[in-house]
Amino acid sequence: MATAQEIALFLDFDGTLVEIAPSPDEVRLDRRVPPALDVLRTSLGGALALVSGRPVSFLDAALEPYRFDTAALHGAQIRLNGEIRSQSAVPEEMRGALRDLVRFANSQVGIIVEDKRISVALHWRLAPQLKGEALELMRAVAIRMGPGIRLQEGKSVAELVPAEASKGSAIAQLMQIAPYAGRLPVFIGDDITDEHGFEAVNALGGLTIRIGDGETQAKLRIASPTSLRAILLDAAERGSLTASSFSQE
């Protein structure tokens, strides 16, 4: 196994660092986690990044006062060393798509629209009986918007994102830049949205870890966000995180 200095750690947020919540605004992060991640970032020579469908602004607020390297909005927004290095343009068709989704949400109890500007997500966790109707709408809107948009499906959510953006491409991009270059990538996620990342990291010979059950390309599993937090908090207390830390679950 690699030593701590050789690891580049990539972490999803929802369902990985925090439990999935009924709505996007209701997630709660254990306040011990941000300072622990800061300690681990130092022990990893700076090679720690969040890879999430959330925007950078949300992740900053959730982890304040710490700011981490981030591949946000499924890779459509990448920040490194405090600077936005790349950001997909807002598709012209996104405003029209947003209006259609808001109209649908206003007519159905329990449907939530999450406008992230570069992307837009439709959530039906509070109305699981509407999954079929919600997915049908999202698929139709994605087809209408054309090849510049990709439909990203997840746990009780579907999202319209720029076609070129994915967690896998974002991780591959970061792995070419210091301090990530030359290290063993370790990516931890929990959802269909993370499979692009697992595929990319597997191709790089890295370690992929899925939180919870479900079909996956990941090589290892950890039972829950609670179990992952225990591993990360213990590693931060010791000041060392290695690839073997994740096989002790």
| CATH code for residues 94-162 | 3.30.70.1020
Question: Would you state the structure tokens that stand for residue 110, as one six-digit string?
Answer: 């329990």
Domain ranges (residues) in the chain: 4-87+166-247, 94-162
- Of residues 88 and 71, which shows the higher confidence score? 71
Per the annotation, the verdict on 194 as an active-site residue is no
- The predicted model gives 31-37 an average pLDDT of 98
For residue 161, give the H/E element and its range.
Answer: strand 157-162
Give yes or no for a contact between 160 and 120, defined as CB atoms under 8 angstroms apart: yes
Confidence of residue 248 (pLDDT cuts 50, 70, 90): low
Q: Residue 162's beta-bridge partner residues?
A: 149
- Of residues 130 and 91, which shows the higher confidence score? 130
| pLDDT tens-digit map of 166-217 | 999 999 999 999 999 999 999 999 999 899 999 999 999 999 999 999 899 9
Is 0.75 surpassed by the pTM of this model? Answer: yes
Nearest Cα to 246, choosing from 229, 30, 17?
229
Question: Would you state the structure tokens that stand for residue 122, as one six-digit string?
Answer: 């439709």
Q: Which amino acid makes up residue 229?
A: R
- Catalytically annotated residue among 12, 14, 69, 190: 12
In whole angstroms, what separates CA 148 from the centre of its chain?
21
Inter-axis angle of helices 225-238 and 33-43, to 10 degrees?
Answer: 50
CATH topology of domain 4-87+166-247: Rossmann fold (3.40.50)
Inter-axis angle of helices 33-43 and 56-63, to 10 degrees?
Answer: 100
| pLDDT tens-digit map of 77-102 | 999 999 888 888 887 888 899 999 99
